[in-house]
């Protein structure tokens, strides 16, 4: 698995398992980025 880190505020360990075709996954990534929360995703 390839993890990609997105920088932001450290609010605990957040790992998002997402599909590139999943609209809800995309919306979740946008929300985390808007809130400035750091996360890793696969």
Contact between 13 and 38 under an 8 Å Cβ cutoff? The reply is: no
Q: Where are the domains of the chain?
A: 4-41
Is the pLDDT at 3 greater than 90? The verdict is no
pLDDT at residue 10, rounded to an integer? 87
Question: Which helix H or strand E contains 40, and what residues bound it?
Answer: strand 39-41
Integer Cα distance of 37 and 31 in angstroms: 9
pLDDT at residue 24, rounded to an integer? 96
Question: What's the average model confidence in pLDDT over 24-29?
Answer: 95
The sign one gets for the Cα dihedral 36, 16, 24, 20 is: positive
Question: At 16, is the secondary structure helix, strand, or coil?
Answer: strand
Integer Cα distance of 18 and 40 in angstroms: 10
Is the pLDDT at 27 greater than 80? The verdict is yes
Is the pLDDT at 9 greater than 90? The verdict is no
pLDDT at residue 16, rounded to an integer? 93
- Which CATH class, in words, describes the domain spanning 4-41? alpha beta
């Amino acid at each position: 698995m390839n993890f990609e880190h997105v920088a932001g505020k450290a609010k605990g360990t957040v790992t998002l398992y997402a599909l590139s075709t999943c609209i809800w996954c995309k919306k979740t990534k946008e929300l985390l980025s808007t809130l400035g929360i750091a996360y890793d995703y696969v």
